[in-house]
Structure 1
Amino acid sequence: MSSRAAIRYAKAILHTANENNTQSVVFEDMQSVQNTIEASRELQAVLQSPVIKAHDKKEALLKIFSGQSAATHSLIKILVDNKRTSLLANVAKSYIDLYNEEQGVKVATVITAVPLSSELESRVMAKVKQLTNSEKVTLQNEIDPEIIGGFILRVGDIQYNASIANQLGNLKREFSKSI
């Protein structure tokens, strides 16, 4: 969950992007920023570290994200200047959520024990489109081996849990009630 500060920064950059008509460019930047930070423990540590100087963080981030737009570079500079670099991943996530909401895109998250096959992904996508009455749907697949099998589907406030772990938990509760 994003902090209120991250949401404020995301709203500000979305507003600027709307004024400059660069929303989709910044959207791609934010996806890249979020994926890069999530994939690198070292980068996460640098962003969180109070020991590393702000100037060094700014220099490193601008080199890492050198291919991004001027709006993204501006965001990085502002976060560094305000000593808020630890929020960068949350700002990116908040921007992505706000952009999708503004574009009417529904984001569905499917949690499975193994990666979805392309056939199963298309079947889940069709079901999500039917449930949401929306043609603009993106699907995120998260892997969680602890659910054993089946899936958990989240679309907005709705969650459908068809995991084997959930079914085993229900059986365990039923048995403990009858004892």
Structure 2
Amino acid sequence: MLTSKVAKRYAQGLLDFTTESGQTATVFSEMKDVVKLMSESKDLNKFFLTPYIDAKKKIEVANEIFKGLSVSSQNLIRLVIRQGRESQLKNIAQEYINKVEDINGIKRITLTTATEISDANIEQILRSTHLVNLNSNFDLKKEINPNILGGYILRVGDQQIDASVKTKLNQVKKDFQLN
């Protein structure tokens, strides 16, 4: 997913601030909570995206929703709303998480399968590729996409292994068309 320049700039500013103040771990955890909340709450997203609700009201609601967060996180959220960038709040939080993980050497891995698979199968898939070192730190995100029909798509950073049935069927179809 492409991240906007706005999200990258706000996330970098927050990272610079938290690094200087020693709050990186706290804010990292809180930004994970923000991403989770924004992903799960369609009503909150609609509220923030509603143009006829003024910034003061949005800040009041945000203060109540995010009152358990640190002062730094609350200030960021208020700043984002005051600047009219509340639609980017989830992206800013995710970009901050990505930047902290990059600093800590954590690889982001996405495994897409057609159905839910067991942990043993996941480990077998990860072992079968040269892209993943199981002894290193990584963050595994599992996605279900029935459209791939079977197999898996493994994405590690900017590299991808597509072993899905849909891709193989498409390749067979192309081969038949060429011959």
Q: Same fold (TM over 0.5)?
A: yes
In structure 2, what is the equivalent of residue 141 of structure 1? 142
Q: Which runs of 5+ in 2 are unaligned?
A: none
CA distance in 2, matches of 1:154, 1:84: 30
In structure 1, what is the equivalent of residue 124 of structure 2? 123
Aligned ranges 1:1-179 → 2 under 5 Å: 1-126=2-127, 131-133=131-133, 135-178=136-179
CA distance in 2, matches of 1:115, 1:63: 37
Kindly tell me: are residues 48 and 149 of structure 1, through their superposed partners in 2, closer, same or farther at Cα, counting changes over 3 Å?
Answer: same
Task: Give the deviation of 1:36 after TM superposition.
Answer: 1.0
Query: Are the counterparts in 1 of residues 111 and 142 from structure 2 also a CA contact under 8 Å?
Result: yes
Question: What code does the residue aligned with 2:76 have?
Answer: L
Kindly tell me: are residues 138 and 146 of structure 1, through their superposed partners in 2, closer, same or farther at Cα, counting changes over 3 Å?
Answer: same
Q: Which whole-Å deviations, capped at 9, do the CAs of 1:132-170 have from their partners, x for residues lacking one?
A: 456111111111111111110111121100011111111
Q: Which runs of 5+ in 1 are unaligned?
A: none
Higher helix share: 1
Greater mean deviation of Cα atoms: 42-51 or 82-91: 42-51
Kindly tell me: are residues 28 and 149 of structure 1, through their superposed partners in 2, closer, same or farther at Cα, counting changes over 3 Å?
Answer: same
Task: Give the deviation of 1:91 after TM superposition.
Answer: 0.1
Query: Are the counterparts in 2 of residues 125 and 139 from structure 1 also a CA contact under 8 Å?
Result: no
Task: Give the deviation of 1:121 after TM superposition.
Answer: 2.8
CA distance in 1, matches of 2:123, 2:132: 15
Query: Are the counterparts in 1 of residues 62 and 78 from structure 2 also a CA contact under 8 Å?
Result: no
Alignment RMSD (CA, Å):
1.6
Count, aligned residues: 177
